[in-house]
Amino acid sequence: MSVAADRDSTGGSNEIGPPQHSAGNGLQPTTHEVPMTMTASRPTGHPGYSETLPRRPESAATARRLVRTALAAWGMEELAYDGALVVSELVTNAVKHARSEVIRLVVSRPGPATVRIGVVDKSKAPPRHRPSGSEDDSGRGLVLVAGLAAAWGTDQLPWGKRVWGELRRKDSW
């Protein structure tokens, strides 16, 4: 993606911003790669958000912020609490079980009243419900996701999997 352009060819400094295109003014667009969260159009006409995160426990906080930001941008703040819980559990599972240094968070809108929160990792092993006792520190994440999400599942990918949960506005059920 081209995100920068030379301001002028007479010694002016480069400035980060959208590419500058103007006939006859001497501005030549250049390309610089800048890490950023991308927004892309989806078939429903709604944007989606994604970000690559390090496979570390602290990434759950970043993921929660991204989900809350996406939901606020879409006017769906009523789903923020459940969305933060779902993404926390999905990221925590990926941190524990993935086989790569990074994971990918994807927040999309497959429909006007639906948000899909997905975490992609390079492990092909599907998530499993584990029995957990009252004294166990873990093992309840997928039960929580299943309880909060209108739907959830796993998509197998050539290099790993995507585990996702969908939240829907209550008035759309």
Task: Please give the mean pLDDT across all residues of the chain.
Answer: 75
Q: Which of 113, 86, 117, 108 is nearest to 170 (CA)?
A: 113
Distance, in Å, from the CA atom of 42 to the CA atom of 39, rounded to the nearest integer, reads 9
| Verdict on whether the full-model pTM lies above 0.75 | no
C-alpha 148/C-alpha 145 separation (Å) is 5
Residue 15: what pLDDT? 33
Residue 37 contacts residue 51 (beta carbons within 8 Å): yes
Q: What CATH number is given for 38-172 in this structure?
A: 3.30.565.10
Please list the residue range(s) of the chain that carry CATH number 3.30.565.10. Answer: 38-172
User: Are the beta carbons of 99 and 124 closer than 8 angstroms?
Assistant: no
pLDDT value for 127: 78
Give the pLDDT score at 130: 63
Q: Edge-to-edge strands of the sheet including 14-16?
A: 14-16, 4-6, 29-30
